[in-house]
Copies of this chain bind each other. A is one copy, B any other.
Amino acid sequence: MPHRAPGSPHHDQTSYLSGRQIRYYRPTGSPDVRRLIDDGFQAFNAARLSEACHIFSEKMLRPEHDTTIGLTVAGALTPAGLGGCMIELMERGLVDFVISTGANLYHDLHYALNFTLHRGTPFLDDRDLYEKGVIRIYDVLFPADVLLETDSYIRDFLARKDRDLGGPLSSADLHYALGLDLIEKCPGCEEHSVVARAAACGVPIYTSSPGDSSIGMNVAYHELMNGGRVVIDPNRDVNEVCAIILAGKKNGCVILGGGSPKNFYLQGQPTLWEVYGIPKGGNDYFIQFTTDQVVWGGLSGATPSEAVSWGKVNPGVLPDTVVSYCDSTIAFPLFCEYAVGSPNGRRPRRGLLHQRAGLVADLLRQAKARAR
């Protein structure tokens, strides 16, 4: 066998894993951090970050605006320990639904299941890591066993719940069921798991590429090997997100990174006007932290301005849109400190997870009315 799989015999793995354990940091609303952002972040991307804080805290969260807020998550944020920021926002009602890469949700399970990820460095010999059974996500390190055991949990979960879940379901359904199962199996894990906390808070979590993560890989295994019936139906995801957006009095988003989750969120408004014929209008608020660039042509870098021509962003609201070019691992904790410490730092939770059926029915009714 020419290429040994990671996870096979290894020695000296421990030296790679000697860095501090990564824990979900929970923002506390520090006045010092708020002062630094207000007075010290005056120009360039620092000013954009400051603007993002103000738009979020003073406009999107203003009670009378009643903004339905989506958070999209791309990039390895849960491995980097930023799940604590997501938990804090969900718990305080500051985000209403989430669209994430599958990888962020998969790696969140490690925290729920009490596995440990470590701080490390990106400057390692990957051939040796492979030999020693150590997995690297840039500078985050953990044993390959963490993958194997998390996979094993997922397959066990699928086998146990196949009857309940069976048949096409939305990714929000799957993540909800996962979250409830985690809370049951590992009581208290909602303190350090986004998936578990979202289930507890009634926040639906979608993924735009259901087959593209270790969760999706294991669902596929379950279908092929066990004849399992769990299938993510992307149609339901499209329609549920559309319905949530349609129901929003105002709509706004916080986009971490970009990628497929960003596009999936932003296509909600075009789906309404272009496909369903419902003139809802675009987003009222748009905040993005990214390091991608519009000139490189990917959607991650596409600006709120370009989104206007597609009806994704309201033409009149460009002042309430902002892109701050900064690594989310730096910008997002600062942004959350600011939001948590703001006078609007807590809202009633909207509980969208449990209202999806009604919202989709509304979408159907409005679309039928237009189609006449």
- Which A residues form the contact surface with B (CB < 8 A)? 1-7, 20, 22-23, 25, 27, 30-33, 36, 39-47, 49, 74-76, 79-81, 101, 103, 119, 122-123, 126-127, 129-131, 134-140, 147-148, 151, 168, 208-214, 216-225, 231-239, 242, 257, 259-260, 263-264, 267, 270-271, 273-276, 279-282, 291-300, 302, 305-311, 314-316, 318, 325-331, 333-334, 337, 360, 363-364, 367-368, 371
Main SS at interface, chain A: helix
Tell me whether A224 and B363 are in contact (CB under 8 A). Answer: yes
- Known contacts A23-B42, A214-B275, A220-B239; 10 further A-B pairs (Cβ under 8 A): A30-B36, A32-B32, A46-B330, A135-B309, A217-B270, A217-B275, A221-B275, A223-B235, A259-B260, A292-B298
Do A140 and B43 have beta carbons less than 8 Å apart? yes
Q: Is the CB of B211 within 8 A of A237?
A: yes
Q: In the complex, what distance in Å separates the CA atom of A112 from the CA atom of B233?
A: 28
Q: Which residue of B lies closest to A258 (CB)?
A: B298
Contact between chains at B49 and A330 (CB < 8 Å): yes
Known: A224-B367, A235-B220. Is A43-B119 also a contact (CB below 8 A)? yes
Residues of B within 8 A of A23 (CB): 39, 42
Q: Write out the residue numbers on chain B whose beta carbons fall within 8 Å of the beta carbon of A139.
A: 43-44, 47
CA distance in complex: A279, B209 (Å): 26
Q: Chain B nearest CB: distance from A284 CB in Å? A: 10
Tell me if B217 and A135 are in contact (CB < 8 A). no
Residue among A127, A138, A139 having the largest count of chain B Cβ atoms under 10 Å = A138
Supposing A33-B33, A234-B216, A363-B224 touch, asked if A329 and B41 sit within 8 A by C-beta, the answer is yes
Could you list some 25 contacts between A and B, CB below 8 A?
Answer: A3-B281, A22-B43, A30-B32, A32-B32, A36-B333, A40-B333, A44-B76, A45-B296, A45-B330, A46-B330, A49-B330, A74-B298, A130-B309, A130-B315, A147-B274, A210-B234, A214-B274, A218-B275, A219-B235, A220-B234, A221-B275, A225-B368, A231-B233, A292-B296, A295-B325
Assuming the A-B contacts A220-B234, A363-B224, are A3 and B311 also in contact, with contact meaning beta carbons closer than 8 angstroms in the complex? Answer: yes
**A46 in contact with B329 (CB, 8 Å):** yes
Q: Are B119 and A47 in contact (CB under 8 A)?
A: yes
Nearest chain B CB to A274 CB, angstrom units: 6
The residue in chain B whose Cβ has the minimal distance to the Cβ of A25 is B40
Report how many copies the assembly holds: 4
Interchain CB contact under 8 A, A25 and B43: no
Contacts of A122 in B (CB 8 A): 294-295
Q: Smallest CB-CB separation from A26: which chain B residue?
A: B40
With a cutoff of 8 Å between Cβ atoms, the chain B residues found around residue A367 in the complex are: 221, 224-225
In the bound assembly, the distance between CA atoms of A79 and B325 in angstroms comes to: 19
What B residues does A130 contact at CB under 8 A? 308-309, 311, 315
A223 near B239 (CB under 8 angstroms)?
yes
B331–A6 touching, CB < 8 Å: no
- Checking B148, B274, B316 against A148 with a beta-carbon cut-off of 8 angstroms, the contacting residue is B274
In the complex, what residues of B have CB within 8 A of residue A135's CB? 309-310
